[in-house]
Amino acid sequence: VEACENDLSIARRRIASAALQNVKVWHGDLADFPETFDLGLATHLCGEGTDLAQAKCIEQGAAFVLTPCCLGMIKHVLEGCSRNRGVSANIRSKLPGEGLRLSYPRSDWLQRQMEPDLYLQLVRLSDCNSGSDASSGAAAASKQLIDADRLMRAAEAGYETGCGKLWPLEASAKNDVLVGWPFGSDR
């Protein structure tokens, strides 16, 4: 599922080049994706995009592999603005704010620990990927807490979860990987 037609063209070329028969691409808003699936792969989705992808996978009972991107756009959801601000209006079948709704923090566990206002501060602090930034230690710790919240959300929904890094590490400054699969699944 991709909102950008140019990115879909790249994906189609790569799928054809690799002669893959079990990969589909779809142009549109993730919330509108109509098909069932077993595995969701979400790479470098900005803001709440990672959370929307995870929510769609949980809704389907599908395994997921997520490589989260920047977190700063989550502030728009927390401040009551529409989701998917970068999605072109011509592919959105629902008005902003309809369909899949997200709450933050994502997990019941972290919701018991902090209010959305504090979570917003956490999001702002974590939206940093510069190793030379003086606050990068705090930013990294904040990002890890947000990712732990995402994994706990999946665990609360009956998923086994794990996390890791893309390799080689220098391939991307945003190299965290979150995985989940339904507990007891043989997929």
**Cα–Cα distance between 72 and 127 in angstroms, integer?**
5
Cβ-contact 27, 5 below 8 angstroms: yes
pLDDT at residue 95 above 70?
A: no
CA R_g for the chain: 17
Residue with tokens 């063209």: 9
Given pLDDT bands bounded at 50, 70 and 90, which one contains residue 88? very low
pLDDT at residue 65 above 50?
A: yes
Given pLDDT bands bounded at 50, 70 and 90, which one contains residue 183? very high
Provide the pairing of β-strand 39-43 with 63-67: parallel
Q: What is the mean pLDDT of residues 81-92?
A: 48
Helix (H) or strand (E) holding 179: strand 176-182
The residue among 136, 168, 154 whose CA lies nearest residue 60 is 154
Cβ-contact 45, 161 below 8 angstroms: no
pTM: 0.81
